[in-house]
Amino acid sequence: RKEVEQDPGPFNVPEGATVAFNCTYSNSASQSFFWYRQDCRKEPKLLMSVYSSGNEDGRFTAQLNRASQYISLLIRDSKLSDSATYLCVVRDDKIIFGKGTRLHILP
């Protein structure tokens, strides 16, 4: 099993729809979890941290399922500007980035 695994996509989603990504991780001792967003030819930027109790920031909701070792990102009412690659990051004694999931929001 890969350390951090994401569906590479691309996800082609009409504007206004809801889209969800999952990310699985192999190390049950992992401590911290994050979602980053990376636009084409730009650097990754922190989208949100993922807390055990789940957290929400506007249209974005992140959840952690320790028992099944995955984190999820839900985007509601998607906008054209949400088109990007979404990177899952898991941290134990080292930082591991997933390959990312490409999202295309269609007008």
Partner 1 sequence: ETGVTQTPRHLVMGMTNKKSLKCEQHLGHNAMYWYKQSAKKPLELMFVYSLEERVENNSVPSRFSPECPNSSHLFLHLHTLQPEDSALYLCASSQTRTGYEQYFGPGTRLTVT
Which residues are at the interface with partner 1 (CB under 8 A)? 4, 31-32, 34, 41-46, 49, 87, 91, 93-95, 97-100
Contact (Cβ atoms closer than 8 angstroms) between residue 6 and residue 101: yes
Least distance CB 13 / partner 1 (angstroms): 22
- Give residues with Cβ within 8 angstroms of 35, minimum separation 6: 46, 47, 48, 50, 60, 62, 71, 73, 86, 87, 88, 89
Q: Which two tokens stand for residue 30?
A: 């992992």
Q: Give 40 or 107: the residue with its C-beta nearer to partner 1.
A: 40
Q: In terms of CB distance, is 8 or 16 closer to partner 1? A: 8
How far apart CA 41 and CA 22 sit, in angstroms, is 23
User: Least distance to partner 1 from the beta carbon of 16, Å?
Assistant: 29
- Residue (1 or 41) nearer to partner 1, CB: 41
Q: Quote helix, strand, coil % in the chain, to nearest 5.
A: 5, 55, 40
**Beta carbon nearer to partner 1, 17 or 46:** 46
The minimum distance between CB 43 and partner 1, in angstroms, equals 4
